[in-house]
Chains A and B, each alone.
Chain A
Amino acid sequence: MMPYVATIAAALFAAPLPLAFINWHSFFFFLFAAVACGFAVAVVAADSVVRMAFYLVLSLGATAGLFFLAGAEFVGAMQLMIYVGGTLVLLVFGVMLTAQAPFVSIKGSGRDSVVAGVVGVVLLAVLLQAALSVASWRQPAAGIVAEPAATPIGMALVGVRVDEPGVGAPARNVRPGYVLPFEIVSIHLLVVLVGAAYLARAKRRKTPRAIEVAASVEPPASVAEHAAIGRDRSRGASVLSGGR
């Protein structure tokens, strides 16, 4: 039976079709690249914030696909976690900002799009020039060995270079790993987090009436009540904002 199956399969699929001669790696590369670029254009062309965020997710997801295709699984998963997951927060803000009137459309003026187009074309030219100036782009270096482990990256982040050849060498000859950049990024993120919490904190609203009443000689009970409501509100909001 086996030879029949093989013959039938060969007759059906293998011989007459050019499919066997396609480099499938390149095919998937172009597929992912096309999806990434196409939806990147769609982000610019769309006029609803939420649709933009959705297209951005697809574009970034296709970029993660490119990383997986290149065998950089750690970077690909990072791309999914940080960029695609980060767009989630963008989406939430988009929904929150446009929730007042459903499906608000955002359209820039003609002048804006001209300026944006010029900036975009200039950036694209710089990037293309940089990409095409790499001489040996098409030939993979023979010496590259796939290192299918994220452990060296993790160890280097805490300062231990297990990937260095000179593990037995004296301490001064070993490169220091990535502790310093890692710490700088951590502190940067901490500052951003504190700043975001500060900005997102609900301020006690001072309506003209409240100011007026507060300025009067004897503050009635409504001021204290108003202040209490404000406190409660700010507490609830800080609990929520901590989650972002």
Chain B
Amino acid sequence: MADFLITTLELPAWLAWSITAMVAAVLILNVIAGGALVFIWAERKIAGRIQDRLGPTRTGGKFGWLQSLADGIKLLAKEDLMPDGADGMLFRIAPYVSFCASFCAFIAFPFAFDFIGQRLNVGVFFVIAVLGLEVFGVILAGYASASKWSLFGAMREAAQVVSYEVPLGMCVVVPVMLAGSMDLVTIAEKQGGWFTSWFLFHDPFTFVVFWIYVTCAIASVNRAPFDLAEAESELVAGFHTEYSGLRWSYFFMAEYGSMFLVSALAAILFMGGWNGPVPVASILGLSEGTSDTANYFVRLLGMINLLGKATLGVLAMMWIRWTLPRLRIDQVMATCLKYCTPLAAAMFLGAMLWQIALPGGLVPGLRRPAAEIREGWLPGPGGAARSVGEDAGTVVKVGA
């Protein structure tokens, strides 16, 4: 886009790049804010149906589809309160810290082949690292509120998020290993074709890893049944007890933003990214690079695919939230340390061995080899695992 602005409109480079950056930023902001509006409405409807109610029905005509907007206006009009004893600076800044972390993670996130704010070659790593910073806002909010409920909530959240980062990281490493890259675009591209080439169906270990990822992702974005930080039956409202109005809503935009992000990340890592279950574009004879229109159409289709998968993930999270009871803090810790972490480690090892023994995947005819099989240091497709590094003409030392 910057190139287009420079060459066609003859804008100076700095202006072109600024406009490009702003367009990306505005689009990402809209994904978060607009997504939150839709998902809050969906959450109300789903919660209603699961609890045998109707949910909102009147605002905006049918289905109450303007309910979130009405909520937003209400929140805007609310008085902005701050407790007397609060640490004012930290109290005010905490919601923005949460929101910024959620926003920054989207910068490196691809929505389709070229629909990406900034392509990083360590995209997965960046997204996970930035997403972990969201908890800062929660801790600051809990501390600065000068309220015991808030502090309890914040400390729970800290313990939980820091713990769940370990198995989450291990789950994320498995697709990275299969794709041979930390670039989110490359990872999604490796899963092109029919749904059988998704990493989810690559081997039994990745299938298990996906479900561990789902558990850890729900815990790391602080959703029920892991929403101990706000446990309203014990802690009033947890870390946001003292917040009201727009500041409070920033926390929720951040929460819905990160829910969407971890779902979209699951789609990219395990469910083919922007490659649909059926390769519609290539059946229609369109492929990347034939013409500008074809490119645009393919990417638009890819974006619809990715957003659809991510939305499905968010809806599943809501389903889980309104179905399962909240865990106790010791159960949360036990789930992470006694089940998720060892399971993730074992599955990681299993996926690695599978990759060495059967690099072509379960059904070799249907998919491309997942990882780059470099000449010499891994056996070729279908070959049995040989001792690495013994081949003549290659010099490889695995392990010093």
Interface residues of A (CB under 8 A from B): 2, 5-6, 9-10, 13-14, 19-20, 22, 24, 48, 50-51, 54, 57, 73-74, 76-77, 80-81, 84-85, 88-89, 91-92, 95-96, 99, 102-103, 148-151, 158-160, 162, 166-171, 174, 176-177, 179-180, 236, 239-240, 242-244
Are the C-beta atoms of A148 and B121 separated by less than 8 Å?
yes
Q: Does B185 contact A (CB under 8 A)?
A: no
- How long is the Cα–Cα vector from A112 to B395 in the complex, in angstroms? 58
Which B residues lie within 8 Å of A150 (CB)? 121-122, 125, 182
Residue of A nearest to B145 (CB): A102
Q: Does B33 contact A (CB under 8 A)?
A: no
A89 contacts which of B121, B162, B182, B399 (Cβ < 8 Å)? Answer: B162
Interface residues of B (CB under 8 A from A): 8-15, 17, 85, 87, 89-90, 93, 120-122, 125-126, 128-130, 132-133, 135-136, 139-140, 142-144, 146, 151, 154-155, 158-160, 162-163, 165, 180-182, 330, 333-334, 336-337, 374, 377, 393-400
- How long is the Cα–Cα vector from A144 to B136 in the complex, in angstroms? 38
**Min CB gap B28→A, angstroms:** 17
Which A residues lie within 8 Å of B136 (CB)? 54, 57, 88, 91
Q: A160-B398, A174-B395, A244-B162 are in contact. Are A50 and B11 (CB under 8 A)?
A: no
- How long is the Cα–Cα vector from A22 to B142 in the complex, in angstroms? 42
A24 contacts which of B14, B121, B151, B377 (Cβ < 8 Å)? Answer: B14
**Min CB gap B329→A, angstroms:** 8
B8, B129, B165, B393 — most chain A CB neighbours (10 Å): B129
Which A residues lie within 8 Å of B93 (CB)? 54
- A–B Cβ pairs within 8 angstroms, 29 of them: A2-B8, A6-B10, A13-B11, A19-B14, A22-B14, A50-B140, A51-B90, A73-B121, A74-B121, A74-B122, A81-B125, A81-B128, A85-B129, A88-B132, A91-B136, A91-B140, A95-B155, A96-B155, A99-B151, A151-B181, A158-B398, A159-B400, A168-B394, A168-B395, A180-B400, A239-B330, A240-B333, A243-B159, A243-B163
**Min CB gap A71→B, angstroms:** 10
- How long is the Cα–Cα vector from A160 to B396 in the complex, in angstroms? 6
Are the C-beta atoms of A159 and B397 separated by less than 8 Å?
yes
Q: A85-B133, A149-B121 are in contact. Are A9 and B15 (CB under 8 A)?
A: yes
Are the C-beta atoms of B159 and A73 separated by less than 8 Å?
no
Are the C-beta atoms of B10 and A176 separated by less than 8 Å?
no
**Min CB gap B295→A, angstroms:** 22
Residue of B nearest to A154 (CB): B182
Which A residues lie within 8 Å of B181 (CB)? 151
- How long is the Cα–Cα vector from A43 to B143 in the complex, in angstroms? 18
Which B residues lie within 8 Å of A81 (CB)? 125, 128-129, 132
Residue of B nearest to A51 (CB): B90
Residue of B nearest to A89 (CB): B162
Which B residues lie within 8 Å of A2 (CB)? 8-9
- How long is the Cα–Cα vector from A77 to B183 in the complex, in angstroms? 13
Residue of B nearest to A166 (CB): B395
Are the C-beta atoms of A88 and B15 separated by less than 8 Å?
no
Are the C-beta atoms of B133 and A84 separated by less than 8 Å?
yes
A88 contacts which of B158, B337, B374, B400 (Cβ < 8 Å)? Answer: B158
B87 contacts which of A13, A88, A103 (Cβ < 8 Å)? Answer: A103
